[in-house]
Amino acid sequence: MNQQMQSSQSSPGDAATAASVVIRPCATPEEFRACVEVETEVWNFDASEAVSHHIMAVAHETGGQVFGAFDGQRMIGFALAFPAIRDGHVHLHSHMAAVISAYQERGIGQMLKLKQREEALSRGIKLIEWTFDPLQTRNANFNIRRLGAVVRRYLPNFYGVSSSPLHSNLPTDRLVAAWHLDSGRVRAHIAGKAHEPGDNQRKISVPKNMNELRHADPSKAAEIQLGVRRQCQDAFEQQYTVTAFTTDENNGYFILEKNYAY
């Protein structure tokens, strides 16, 4: 559903450094249940919308990925991916990745994603996709600038209206991140060398205070979401690709290039 790396209510005093955190596969019912506990803490879904530990077990058994981030015996994050196929090509769809708030800003989200990449490449899988909310600028920066994913698809209200307080009753519009794991672009971004867009580009802006607007002015938030939707759909129809993400004091900016190849 999302890669959610900054939304939980744990106390910052509980946090340790990333050096104490280990990323490893989950393989037991107890570990899958621990993933669900993190999921519940982060998204707070109604029971009817939550991914169960049974689904985690199925993903593990059928060629997907279930990784946990552990500080000692405590799970503080996880990543869940399913095997997927499109146009005859196998890839992974990363449905969920989350780190509880007490462990935010310590690089643990990136550790989870890099473990997904490492394991996928070990099996000859060259692509991982996932969806993310275009109104979440921090996630956009992480996905595009830090990891080097590109975006060519927009899914309006993909999951329907969600019970999670994070989504504030807005349609669950999503961008699809495409992470081409062994591309020069991704290797460069992981090394800290972000792509510099050329001249043939568009910009789509999103206010950085969207989380506040969702609650304080829902009609304004819905208006902004609709504007972003229309701009993205128009750009993708004209063969633009999101290749970069930048920010200033008030806004985040998706940078799109036409006929981008990597």
Q: In sequence order, what DSSP letters do the residues of 49-71 get, joined into one string?
A: TSPPHHHHHHHHHTT-EEEEEEE
Note the pLDDT of residue 18: 66
**Cβ contact 44:164 at 8 Å:** yes
Name the token pair of 33: 């249940």
CA 196, 202, 208, 210 torsion-angle sign: negative
**How does pLDDT run across 88-138, given as a tens digit for each residue?**
999 999 999 999 988 988 899 999 999 999 999 999 999 999 999 999 999
The CA distances from residue 49 to 1, 3, 52, 80, 168, in Å, are 11, 16, 9, 15, 15
Give residues with Cβ within 8 angstroms of 259, minimum separation 6.
239
Q: Count Cα atoms within 13 angstroms, Cβ side, for 126.
A: 6
**How does pLDDT run across 143-160, given as a tens digit for each residue?**
999 999 999 999 999 998
Distance CA 76, CA 97 (A): 11
Distance CA 12, CA 6 (A): 12
Note the pLDDT of residue 12: 42
Mean pLDDT value across residues 37-62: 90
DSSP 105-159: TSSHHHHHHHHHHHHHHHTT--EEEEEE-TT-HHHHIIIIIIS--EEEEEETTTT
Mean pLDDT value across residues 46-69: 93
CA 157 to chain centre: 16
Phi and psi dihedrals of 184, rounded to 5?
-60, -35
What is the band of 3 on the pLDDT scale with cuts at 50, 70, 90?
low
Note the pLDDT of residue 47: 74
Distance CA 119, CA 162 (A): 31
Distance CA 62, CA 113 (A): 20
